Structure formats: C-alpha cells, structure tokens
Structure 1
Amino acid sequence: MFKRKTTARRNLEADGYLPLLWEDDYCQVVIVPLENTAYVLKSIAEIKPLSEASRTDFGFTEIFEHGEMPITTISKEIREEYLTWLLKGFGFERATHIDYNCDKIIDCTTGQTKAYGFSNFTLFFETEGEFVKHIWISISTLVSLAEISVEKFELIKSVLYSLGEECEMILVDWNRMELIDLRNRNKINNYLSYFWK
C-alpha cells in the first residue's frame, strides 16, 4: 500500500529535483575502485548462475550477498569537495532532499548522503568526514532515450568517464551482473543505451 504524498513532499517536488532512493537499490549499481576488478568478476561468476536460477517475473526468490569490496572507495581519498565540483561542472542538479522509500524525507544539506542528477538519473554518494565513502547510481527505466535530451545523455556519459579516467573507478551493476570500465566511453555508452533505448 502506497502512502499518500504529504504536503511537504508535494512542495519539495514542486520546487524541483527530488530523487527517490529505495533501500533495496543502495549500492546495487555502484562505482568502486578499479583495483576491485578481479574480485568483482569472480563474484559475478559465482553469483550469476544462482541468481538466474532464482529469477522470477517479479524479481528473485533468493538474496545473494556480494560482500564488501577489498579496496574501499574511501581508501581512494576522493574528497566530497572534488566530487561536488565535478558534478556541478557537468551541470548536474544538486538535490536538497531525498525521498527515501516513499515514506521519509532525508535532508541532503546536513546528512551524509548526497544526490546529484536529473529526473531520470541520480548519482548518490555517502560521505565520511571530508571523503566519499560510497558512490552509486539510480537510472529510471520508465523513460526512453527519446525523452532524454542528447545534452543530458552526454553529460551523464562524461561524468562517468571522468570518474573512470581521473579516479580510476569502475561501475558494477549487481542487478545485471555486469562490470563497466569507466575509462572506456564505448562501454559507458552501451551500458546506458540498454536502459534508454
């Protein structure tokens, strides 16, 4: 049963960008250090056959834990200030609040979880002190590529590529059991095109 939208939520949506964060999506499409490539590929090889066997029309009958990355994002010492500068430089909108599970509003200005993006793509990150602890994304599959401006599509690709080139990061989609080298523009384009055909 969905809760009714509160007046506060309606006002925030009317004011602009209010990304939705589902608890189940936390770090499911995650951006992590390149040094984790071998670990991720090994994990995908172990989990993929089990996940395919448990897939239904409505999701999965089993839960598969992939565990913590051997090389953590925070160990890369990516400063919040740098990531914010990068995202703003590519025109990503900064969210002041996050709609968490459709039942709680999180304040991004004071909390550790931040969000930047557009109505159909959000890059979330969590901080610990001045450093970025986790980075993950949410992509809306409810829109087609025709509904996304070419400019926004290029900005999203450019941000992901910058994270790959400048910070040596990869994208891991645990939902699709796929690893994307963010230093490769073609792989980024192919990955995003899957969602927005």
Structure 2
Amino acid sequence: MKAKGTIFYHEDDFCQIEILPKENVFHLLKEVDNISDFTEEHGYSDIYVREERKITLSARKINKSELEKVLAELETERHTEVITGYGTEYREKSKNTIGFGKGYAAMYFQYENDVVINIWVTNLFELNANHVINVLFKIGEKWDLILMDWNTSQLVDLTNRDRIKKYIDH
C-alpha cells in the first residue's frame, strides 16, 4: 500500500523513545532489567514484548491543542499527514497522529477525542538542541513526565533540565 504524507516514521520506532507519566519510573526500570535478562537468555533471536504501562499517558488528560502549542516551540514544521510502515513496500496513514519535525527527526503524538494517548520521538538529535531541551523540559514540568529510550535503556526525568541536556548532548 502506498500512502502519501508529509512525514514518515518506521513502524519499529513507534514508542521506542516514549514520553510517559513519572509514576511509571520503577516499572520502567524493572522492564529494563527484564529486557536485559531476556537478551542474556535468548540473545537477539527472540522478541521481548514490553508490559503495559501502569499509568497511561491518557490519564494525564493532556489536551491535543495544548500539547501542540508546546511542540510548536520546536520551531519546525507541523505535520498532520503522518505515514508509517516499513521499507518502501508498505505504508499507511497513522491515524490521529501529528508530528513536529523534518526528515526523520520528529516528535509525534497520537490522540483520541482530543486527549493525547502517546508521545514518542525519532532522531531528535538532528533538531535544534536548545529547542528540544526547552520543549522536553516544558512537557516534563507541565505534566510531570519522563522520557524512556528503549534503544539505550535510558530513563530521563523531564523535570530536570540538566538530565535532558546530558541526554541530548550524549
């Protein structure tokens, strides 16, 4: 299926670097340990399926337009036509999804009934670092959120500007 849109993310990147309520910290750290144990036992030939979050992002009742105002501070393009899939073979529209970014560097969110249900990022390091740090900090402060990077097993407190900067500057 060929779908057209203004920005694309690979389906494997959906919530691979995600933003979640801070109450999930201990659960997320336990998941990091579980993934490590699973990898030691199975190598990379099997797939580990992460457990559901204890506290969902929708519990924060973040209004879609409120989040859009914050993400606009990235000073990059806003995309309402978001495409996902893999390779060039399969593409489909990511419903109720908005992305702020360019190329493969973006912050995305999904919503239902104008309430944000998922926030995730791809390749933020290609965007303006100061804008990214400020936006992540504002999101963290406003809604008491954290960033979980499953690629690197890093958990970042988004209410701590120095931790965000260290993560972005890695």
| TM-score normalized with structure 2 length | 0.86
**What residue is the counterpart of 1:104 in the other structure?**
91
Q: Could you tell me whether the CA contact under 8 Å between 1:97 and 1:105 is conserved in 2? A: no
How far, CA to CA, are the matches of 1:66 and 1:44 in structure 2? 9
Q: Could you tell me whether the CA contact under 8 Å between 1:48 and 1:177 is conserved in 2? A: no
Question: 1:105 offset after TM fit, Å?
Answer: 5.0
**What residue is the counterpart of 2:75 in the other structure?**
91
Tell me which of 13, 22, 35 is aligned to 2:23: 35
Matched position secondary structure for 1:89:
helix
How far, CA to CA, are the matches of 1:172 and 1:183 in structure 2? 13
**What residue is the counterpart of 1:51 in the other structure?**
39
Any gaps of 5 or more consecutive residues in structure 2? none
Q: Could you tell me whether the CA contact under 8 Å between 2:73 and 2:131 is conserved in 1? A: no
**What residue is the counterpart of 2:131 in the other structure?**
155
> 1:172-183, aligned counterparts within 5 Å?
172-183=148-159
**What residue is the counterpart of 2:161 in the other structure?**
185
> How many aligned residue pairs are there?
167
Q: Could you tell me whether the CA contact under 8 Å between 1:31 and 1:134 is conserved in 2? A: yes
Question: 1:118 offset after TM fit, Å?
Answer: 2.9
Percent of aligned positions with the same letter in both sequences?
A: 28
Q: Could you tell me whether the CA contact under 8 Å between 1:80 and 1:132 is conserved in 2? A: yes
Cα RMSD (Å) of the superposition?
2.4
| TM-score normalized with structure 1 length | 0.75
**What residue is the counterpart of 1:82 in the other structure?**
66
